[in-house]
Structure 1
């Protein structure tokens, strides 16, 4: 018999307003690069974000994540210098027209955001044999990415922006933050209140890429490159068609 605290509970659906709030967080989440304000995040709000991340699903209930909170200006400056070196290398990898657009992107979150968070994955935490990771060794990394997404959506609900920095050499970040060899760096996030959020993803607004049509990404029963990927959207309508209308995206932090 299950006890009342840990036994199963009814799988009730959310109310219409609760569903709308979930979809609003998903659809208005943005990758913030430059719009951060210096306003500090209150400790109780930060703990809510970290608790949301800590409640992500994890393979074998491994919970492989750690959260390195970086607010020291000198440490952030070191990270920014490492980013700047890698960013110049990255810019040179694109064609001339792309280089100009790349250079126009303001990537100043490391210094402007009051808080940086490095989220890591300790691949030894569950022992040598982890339930669910016996054949897919990457499951602990995927689990940690779920924690990143939880934090990001919770931050959106709190009016806090998040930017994911991925342009750096792994060795530089390990040296700066003292990360041991058995721990993988999964995400380096810039976190803080913002003065605005883009109505659409910034890279889409600037013409870097467009969002792909969902129907082109759905296959039935097996991988298929055929011209008819199926009509899942008619069977499973967009939230707007399901009686859940995400609110108009807010442009304020």
Structure 2
């Protein structure tokens, strides 16, 4: 598929065919492409938790969604055969920029105008989303509620130093997949968001 077509087709898929797993070679391509994302100082301060088995996925949903009957969105999302949780690691960046070639001698976090550890991990997540489209799959990036992050960490032994920036569900689109009502707002055009030469 041409890159322009991949970008045009990219959207968040919220329902999956539970009977079609993601082939192992495709799963590996998703991850191999993710680590091609740019990162400040080539720090590569990311990690990816891959959840495929029914038990792993159920533990994820139990930890992040809590008790109670799932709503329609969660029911459809839970059908995804593959979940990938991208995690950022701030210490990797602070350590990297304290190395001699970067010119800093300390790990002072105030030097960073934005948290590039999260930005770069987000770019890796986007490469997963685009690769999914190129492979004929659907995917959706969604957040983990802040109040559920401790339960998520406990369920999977995730060290405190790693922050989940969200989760990506991946699979073949299901029969009930439909576009988000938010799309009724329409996509903003470049004439609304691009400022050339000056604001």
The interval holding the TM-score normalised by the smaller chain is 0.7 to 0.9
Contact 1:116 / 1:190 at 8 angstroms: preserved in 2?
yes
Confirm or deny that 1:186 pairs with 2:190. no
Q: Shift of the alpha carbon at 1:187?
A: 2.3
**Is 1:114 equivalent to 2:66 in the alignment?**
no
Residue aligning to 2:106? none
Q: How is 1:232-243 mapped onto 2 (pairs within 5 angstroms)?
A: none
Map 1:1-253 onto structure 2 (within 5 A): 21-85=2-66, 106-130=73-97, 131=102, 134-168=111-145, 169-195=148-174, 201-204=179-182, 207=184, 209-223=185-199
Contact 2:139 2:168 in 1 (8 A): yes
Separation of aligned partners in 2, 1:164 and 1:81 = 18
CA RMSD of aligned residues (A): 2.9
Query: Which gives a bigger RCO, structure 1 or 2 (Cα 8 Å, sep 6+)?
Result: 2
How far off is 1:66 after superposition? 1.1
Could you give the per-residue CA deviations for residues 187-238 of structure 1, whole angstroms, max 9, x where no partner exists? 2111112246979x52345x4x332233111223344xxxxxxxxxxxxxxx
Partner-residue secondary structure (3-state), 2:57: helix
Contact 2:16–2:77 (CA<8 Å) still a contact in 1? no
The runs of 5 or more residues in structure 2 that have no matched partner are 104-108
Please give the per-residue CA displacement for 1:6-54, whole angstroms capped at 9, x wherever unaligned. Answer: xxxxxxxxxxxx7xx1111111111111133421222211111111111
CA contact (8 A) 1:162 1:189 kept: yes
State the number of aligned residues.
186
Q: TM-score, normalised by structure 1?
A: 0.64
Q: CA 1:80–1:108 in 2, change beyond 3 Å: closer, same or farther?
A: same
Aligned-partner SS, 1:81: helix
Larger Rg: 1
TM-score, normalised to structure 2, is 0.79
Between stretches 113-122 and 187-196, larger displacement belongs to 187-196
Preserved contact between residue 15 and residue 77 of structure 2 (Cα < 8 Å): no
Structure number having the greater helix percentage: 2
